């Protein structure tokens, strides 16, 4: 089940573009990323910092928002597939060439875990990672974390776009406008 919505765009080829990083934990350090309007007033800055504090408190108390869980459900079909992953970068929207290079990887799973501060985070478990060099930009593989099994972990909040490689022609990826799905024993059920 693939759903187009205001947080996720599904291309005809099945590529997923995450329009908003719902699994990226809000932080004070990144509070002003992407603001291009010049100088903010101290009231505007304080409102942004208050929003960050409120969102972190909500996340710690209740976990990620329902839209983040929708994104998690949407990507369960990428497990056991070879992917091209484009990581998110604050400059990606200004100048695509300055973004991290996309890379190929095999997704062996998704891992939900609490970080050191007690916030639930989602990680893609990756193996056989190879960076695709482009004329501009930088190697984003440095933002991957080594996993105990020798693979890598990528915080799902860092993902901008996922494309599946080598999808068999007989498998059709279809978009649906809306439908509720729950996960029971790690498998989607209707």
Report residue 133's pLDDT band, with 50, 70 and 90 as the boundaries: low
Cα–Cα nearest to 61, from 20, 115, 112, 120: 120
Query: What is the rounded CA–CA span in Å between residue 77 and residue 187?
Result: 10
* CA distance linking residue 54 with residue 182, whole number of Å: 27
**With the C-alpha atoms ordered 161, 164, 169, 173, is the resulting torsion angle positive or negative?**
negative
pLDDT surpassing 90 at residue 40? no
* Sheet with 152-155: strands ordered across: 8-10, 16-18, 159-164, 81-87, 103-114, 120-131, 152-155, 145-146
**What is the pTM (predicted TM-score) of this model?**
0.74
> Residue 186's pLDDT is what?
42
Question: For residue 136, what pLDDT is reported?
Answer: 63
Weakest-pLDDT range from 35-44, 45-54, 128-137: 128-137
pLDDT at 149: 86
pLDDT at 1 over 50: no
Is residue 13's pLDDT more than 80?
A: yes
Stretch 76-101: mean pLDDT, rounded?
Answer: 75
User: Taking residues 80-103, what's their average pLDDT?
Assistant: 74
Q: Phi and psi for 99 in degrees, rounded to 5? A: -80, 165
């Amino acid at each position: 089940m693939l759903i187009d919505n205001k947080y996720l765009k599904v291309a005809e080829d099945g590529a997923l573009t995450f329009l908003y990083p719902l699994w990226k934990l809000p932080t004070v350090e990144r509070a002003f990323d992407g603001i291009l309007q010049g100088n903010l007033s101290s009231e505007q800055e304080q409102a942004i910092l208050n929003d960050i504090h409120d969102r972190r408190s909500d996340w710690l108390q209740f976990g990620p928002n329902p839209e983040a869980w929708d994104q998690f459900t949407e990507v369960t079909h990428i497990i056991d597939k070879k992917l091209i992953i484009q990581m998110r970068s604050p400059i990606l929207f200004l100048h695509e060439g300055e973004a991290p290079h996309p890379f190929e990887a095999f997704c062996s799973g998704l891992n939900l875990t609490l970080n050191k501060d007690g916030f639930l985070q989602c990680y893609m478990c990756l193996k056989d990672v190879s960076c695709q060099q482009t004329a501009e930009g930088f190697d984003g593989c440095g933002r991957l974390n080594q996993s105990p099994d020798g693979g890598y972990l990528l915080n799902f909040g860092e993902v901008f776009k996922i494309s599946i490689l080598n999808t068999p022609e007989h498998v059709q990826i279809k978009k649906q406008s809306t439908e509720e799905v729950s996960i029971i024993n790690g498998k989607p059920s209707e």
